[in-house]
Chain A
Amino acid sequence: MKPEDYLRALRAQLKGFSPREQDLLIEEISTHFDSGEDDPDLGTEIDLRRQKMLSEMGSPKQMGKGFRAIHRPGRLIDYLLILIPTLAVYILARFFINTQMLMEQYVTVQIAVYYSIFCVLMVAISFLRRSLYLKLYWILILGLWLAGLPVFIFGDRSQGISFYTTTLLGSPNLGFYLPGSGPWAEWIVPSLILILVLLLFVRMIWHVRHDLLTVAYACLLAFMGVWFFYQSAVETSVSTVLTWFENSYYLYAVTVGPLSVANLFFLSAGISFVSLGFFFLLDRRDLRWLALAFCFCAAGIEDILSFRLSVFWVYTLTTEVLFPLSIVLTAWLLEKRKKVQWQFNG
């Protein structure tokens, strides 16, 4: 084996790393070879030095494994940190939630069990694990919760619920709002929080902008989050806290899987969940792209089947299937054709 063969084999072990990261690691090991070749203590002839160097290297597989262990902690744990809290909420909700109960109890349980405990905790854990995928996911969920919080604090729930978020997002539908709660609670604060979350997303993915798979994941999460927040605001049939929550659950079911009691047994939620698992756990990049597409389209496809006799199916097809697919497809094609100019900061 020659040093070039070693470096090639090492690069193959670093597939999960960005090109920039790979280059830096390879450069460091390459300079190790250079230093050895220049070292007279290793022998008088260059071939002898190279042989000595190679015998001291250890295998590329072992080195790659070492780097992966440090820089790429297992994604299985990341996935479990989405899966387990989500299922735990469902299980807890089964104990506490009874649709016959008063609405107030329903809301209180959700706030106490899920948002106030799991959500904040999960954001903290995501930061501790330094996992970008996990951070993006839980920050979005926390952001959506915070955006809706003013309504719960100031809103007159007996009158029904909706948001002026629609104004910001371009819809003239102002007819459904919370009487007495004022614009701050209804749209200014929620909108600012959503914008903040989006800006945070941009900041977080800026450093990994060369990794289009991660960028696509972040875009789809952000889009789905804001879109369904918006959808819950314009949906004219949304008239109670309960149904608003159900719509929120729908959002989560679309983005990751069965957060909703109602959605748990739906095929789409299961597909979303399993797809997300493939996205997190597989090493083959093409399959990860495919899993990402499935994850974000499954609920839309199911909706189309549900709405096939209604005019909604075109709307659903566009927003919940074609749009996510177009994001995935565009990013995948860009990556395949290497049209992206990698921008390294040196």
Chain B
Amino acid sequence: MDRIQEIRKGSTPVLILSVLADKKMYGYQIMRELEKRSDGYFTMTAALLYPTLHQLEEQELVESEWQGQPGTRRRKYYTITTKGKKALQARRIEWQNFLTHLFKTLQFSGES
């Protein structure tokens, strides 16, 4: 179970990028959208989400923008960058390869 958790945690950046590929969102929206798309399987704490978003921003895979006036209620929206789209594509292929080989191996093990 711990290993599955580790894999889930490791997949957080690619999951966030995939959600942002469709439209710009703020943190809370990203959290809910991930839950919705995965039927509640991928849930993450804000303590994981926000540092990951900041890390993606540091890596220039996403960019952020505050919307609203300072002092009033405003939100920080994240948008995927061109570099982020390329990274997402590359990671999708990586995950696809990983899963294909994982299932193939598991299936083989089950048959023998």
**Which of A34, A56, A69 makes the CB contact (< 8 A) with B31?**
A56
B46 and A63 form a contact (CB under 8 A): yes
* A41 to B73 alpha-carbon distance, docked (Å): 21
Q: Which residues of A contact B (CB under 8 A)?
A: 27-29, 31-32, 34-36, 39, 41, 56-60, 62-63, 66-67, 69-71, 346
A35 and B46 form a contact (CB under 8 A): no
In the assembled complex, which residues on chain B have CB atoms less than 8 Å from the CB atom of A59?
47
In the assembled complex, which residues on chain B have CB atoms less than 8 Å from the CB atom of A56?
31, 43, 45-46
* A31 to B25 alpha-carbon distance, docked (Å): 13
Given contacts A56-B31, A56-B43, contact A346 B51 (CB under 8 A): no
In the assembled complex, which residues on chain A have CB atoms less than 8 Å from the CB atom of B46?
29, 32, 56-58, 63
A58 and B75 form a contact (CB under 8 A): no
- Name the distance in Å between A12's Cβ and chain B's nearest Cβ: 15
In the assembled complex, which residues on chain A have CB atoms less than 8 Å from the CB atom of B32?
39, 41
B29 within 8 A of A: yes
A35 and B29 form a contact (CB under 8 A): yes
A32 and B28 form a contact (CB under 8 A): yes
B47 and A62 form a contact (CB under 8 A): yes
Of the A-B pairs whose beta carbons lie under 8 Å apart in the complex, a sample of 19, sorted by A's number, is A27-B74, A28-B50, A29-B46, A31-B26, A31-B74, A31-B75, A31-B76, A35-B75, A39-B28, A41-B32, A57-B47, A58-B45, A58-B47, A62-B47, A63-B47, A63-B51, A66-B50, A66-B54, A67-B51
- Name the distance in Å between A8's Cβ and chain B's nearest Cβ: 16
A57 and B45 form a contact (CB under 8 A): yes
Chain B: interface size category = 20 to 34
Closest chain B residue, CB of each to CB of A130: B58
In the assembled complex, which residues on chain A have CB atoms less than 8 Å from the CB atom of B26?
31, 35
* A27 to B48 alpha-carbon distance, docked (Å): 17
Closest chain A residue, CB of each to CB of B70: A346
Question: Told that A56-B45, A67-B50 touch, could you supply 6 new A-B pairs with CB distance under 8 A?
Answer: A27-B74, A31-B74, A32-B28, A36-B28, A56-B43, A58-B48
- Name the distance in Å between B12's Cβ and chain A's nearest Cβ: 11
A31 and B45 form a contact (CB under 8 A): no
B73 and A31 form a contact (CB under 8 A): yes
- Name the distance in Å between B64's Cβ and chain A's nearest Cβ: 9
* A28 to B30 alpha-carbon distance, docked (Å): 14
**Which of B29, B54, B74 makes the CB contact (< 8 A) with A67?**
B54
Given contacts A58-B45, A70-B55, A346-B70, contact A29 B28 (CB under 8 A): no
Given contacts A36-B28, A346-B70, contact A29 B50 (CB under 8 A): yes
B13 within 8 A of A: no
In the assembled complex, which residues on chain A have CB atoms less than 8 Å from the CB atom of B31?
56
* A32 to B32 alpha-carbon distance, docked (Å): 11
A71 and B29 form a contact (CB under 8 A): no
Q: B35-62, CB under 8 A of A: which get 1 and which 0?
A: 0000000010111101110110010000
* A57 to B46 alpha-carbon distance, docked (Å): 5
* A67 to B57 alpha-carbon distance, docked (Å): 12
- Name the distance in Å between B14's Cβ and chain A's nearest Cβ: 17
In the assembled complex, which residues on chain B have CB atoms less than 8 Å from the CB atom of A58?
45-48
